Structures are given as structure tokens and as C-alpha cells.
Amino acid sequence: MAKFRLLPDEYLARSPLTQLWREFSRQHSAIAGLILFSGFFLLALLSPLITPHDPYLQNDALLLLPPSWSELGLVQYPFGTDDLGRDMFSRLLVGARYTFGIAMITVLGALIMGLLLGTLAGMSRGVKSSVFNHVLDLALTIPSLLLAIIIVAILGPGLLNTTWAIMLALLPQFVHGIRNAIAEQLNQDYVIAYRLDGANNWQVFSRIVLPNIWERLTLMATMALSTAILDIAALGFLGLGAQAPTAEWGAIIADSLDLIYVAPVGVAIPGLLIFLAVLSVNLVGDGLRAAAKKRREN
């Protein structure tokens, strides 16, 4: 005989978010990634307040100062200065705004647009949705760098223009993913039950579909974020994205490349920062994915 229980298990009684956090916090790598990620996030928000020097101030008395761990360095300039006498440390701090911050804005923009278009595609049926899919198939196939080249050719180089390109390049995967997630949800029995209760499309979407797909949305966003950071840095490096004085990490590497023998720090540290930023996003994403899987299994 089935046992009647007024309250479910202690574990099941917790909210999904708490369960997810429990599973997430059990993974050391995910927590390390989250700490790193929060660090970059705070840096992107607060970096102008904490830079010791003006990142764009050219000091011709201190050109190409070596980092402070070498004997010729100054302690006020931890990573030395570049060939125009700008403080490398401040430039790197501000760079978090461009590479990491703008990548986040790009992903957010793509996510919102993707949610709109994906919902339209997922809730509609027939010819409209099939035409939509085919257009997406085309958009998915154009490599992001090629898309960026085309947009730069039309609008000219610049961080903002490449941001549009990256957003456009990220959009199809969001729309595809969201469309599939919504279509999957609409097939569930609880949606039918809710519809029989008299719920309209908007209520079904906001009360049932959205709470059930946010986990997948976050996952998609983390995957897109690592792509966005890599793309922004690569475009900055190629000289198509952020332009010369802007302290974007990829652009700093391109600037320091001629001086790689004299000042290898200028290539090593920005690259390391890009790597750490992408790594933190990937660790958080992997941790979330594993946690979400475990939560669903329980």
C-alpha cells in the first residue's frame, strides 16, 4: 500500500534553485570558476574606480618600464608601462570592461532578441515557422568572423560594429535552442491541463514555459559568453574590433606584438586574462550543466 505523506522528502521540499545550488556547490572546479567569474564581473563594473593611474595617460618619462618584479621596475607600475608610457596594470583592469563587460552585454542582447524570436517561432506552427527555420539554417552557417568582416566592411571598424556582428552570429543558436525548448515544453501534459483551465498563450508562456526553460537559457548564455569573449578579443587582435587607444585585451596584444622581445609582459598577461575569463565562464557552465543534470535525476 502506498504510504501517504503530507510533506515530501526533505530534499524534494527545497526549491529547484536551492537544489541546483547544492549540486553546483559540491563541485570544486565550478566554485573556483564562479569566484573567478565574479571577480571579472566586479572588475568590469568597478575598474574605472580602482585603476591606480589613468589608463590612457601617456607618460613619456616612463616609456617601456619593465614590470615591478624586475630590478628596473617601479612598484607603482606592477606590470610596467607600454611604449607610450601608459600604465599596463590600469589598462588591463579597464580592459575587463571591454572584453568581458561588452561580451556580457552582447550575450544579453542576443539572449533577449533570441527569446523574442524563439518564442515567436516556438509558439507558431506551419509555414511561418518552417520558413523561419530555413532562414536560421543559413545564418547558422556563416562563420562569425566572416559575418564580422562583412559588417565591418559596411559600417567600418570599431568595437560597437563588431558587437553587432557577434550578436548576430550568436543569435541563431539562441533562437534554435529556445525554439526547441519551448516546443518540448508545449508537448507536456501539464501545459494541456493548464490550457484546459482556460489559460491563454501569454499565461502558458509566462507561468509554465519560462520557469521551465530558464535553466537551459542560462546554459546557452554561458556557452555563448565564452564564444563572445573569444570573438571580441580575436577581432580586437585583428584590428577589426576595438581601435587603437581602447584598452581591449586583444587590441593590447596586437599593440604589444611588435615589442614582444622587449616587453613580453604586454603579450603574456592580456592573453592570460582572456584565457582566465573564458575558463571561468566554461567552468561555471560545465558546473551548471552537471548540477542541472543531477537535479533532474533526483
Q: Provide the phi-psi class of 222: left if phi over 0, else alpha when psi is between -120 and 50, else beta.
A: alpha
Q: Which stretch binds another protein (CB under 8 A): 1-9, 18-26, 71-79, 270-278?
A: 270-278
Q: Is 126 helix (H, G, I), strand (E, B) or coil?
A: coil
Cβ neighbours of residue 213 under 8 Å, at least 6 residues apart? Answer: 178, 181, 182, 185
Q: Which of 104, 100, 11 lies closest to 294 in space, CA to CA?
A: 11
Q: Is 220 helix (H, G, I), strand (E, B) or coil?
A: helix
- Based on the shown chain and the rule CB under 8 A, indicate whether residue 286 belongs to the binding site for another protein: yes
Rg (CA), the chain: 24
Q: With respect to another protein, which residue has the nearer C-beta, 85 or 239?
A: 239
Q: With respect to another protein, which residue has the nearer C-beta, 93 or 151?
A: 151
User: DSSP letter at 107?
Assistant: H
Q: Which of 220, 219, 221 lies closest to 106 in space, CA to CA?
A: 221
In the list 32, 36, 115, 149, the residue contacting another protein (rule: CB under 8 A) is 149
Site residues for another protein, window 61-120 (CB under 8 A)? none
What's the rounded Cα separation, in Å, for the pair 172 and 121? Answer: 12
Cβ of residue 123: shortest distance to another protein, in angstroms? 19
- Based on the shown chain and the rule CB under 8 A, indicate whether residue 187 belongs to the binding site for another protein: no
Q: Which stretch binds another protein (CB under 8 A): 12-20, 71-79, 199-207, 280-288?
A: 280-288
Number of residues located near another protein, criterion CB under 8 A: 40
State the burial class of residue 267 (Cβ atoms within 10 Å of its Cβ: 0-12, 13-18, 19+).
middle
Cβ of residue 184: shortest distance to another protein, in angstroms? 14
User: DSSP letter at 60?
Assistant: T
Q: What nine digits make up the cell of 115? A: 527569446
Cβ of residue 153: shortest distance to another protein, in angstroms? 5
Q: Which stretch binds another protein (CB under 8 A): 2-10, 46-54, 178-186, 250-258?
A: 250-258
Q: Which stretch binds another protein (CB under 8 A): 12-20, 36-44, 135-143, 191-199?
A: 135-143
- Based on the shown chain and the rule CB under 8 A, indicate whether residue 30 belongs to the binding site for another protein: no
- Based on the shown chain and the rule CB under 8 A, indicate whether residue 267 belongs to the binding site for another protein: yes
In the list 36, 64, 123, 279, the residue contacting another protein (rule: CB under 8 A) is 279
What's the rounded Cα separation, in Å, for the pair 152 and 234? Answer: 14
Cβ of residue 89: shortest distance to another protein, in angstroms? 19
Q: Provide the phi-psi class of 85: left if phi over 0, else alpha when psi is between -120 and 50, else beta.
A: left
- Based on the shown chain and the rule CB under 8 A, indicate whether residue 145 belongs to the binding site for another protein: yes
Q: What nine digits make up the cell of 144? A: 562569425
- Based on the shown chain and the rule CB under 8 A, indicate whether residue 237 belongs to the binding site for another protein: yes
In the list 52, 264, 296, 298, the residue contacting another protein (rule: CB under 8 A) is 264
Alpha helices in 187-264, H assignment, sequence order:
189-196, 201-203, 210-238, 249-256
- Based on the shown chain and the rule CB under 8 A, indicate whether residue 239 belongs to the binding site for another protein: yes
What's the rounded Cα separation, in Å, for the pair 68 and 80? Answer: 6
- Based on the shown chain and the rule CB under 8 A, indicate whether residue 271 belongs to the binding site for another protein: yes
Binding region for another protein (CB under 8 A): 29, 134-135, 137-138, 140-146, 149-150, 152-154, 226, 230-231, 233-234, 237-240, 250, 253, 257, 260, 264, 267, 271, 274-275, 278-279, 282-283, 286
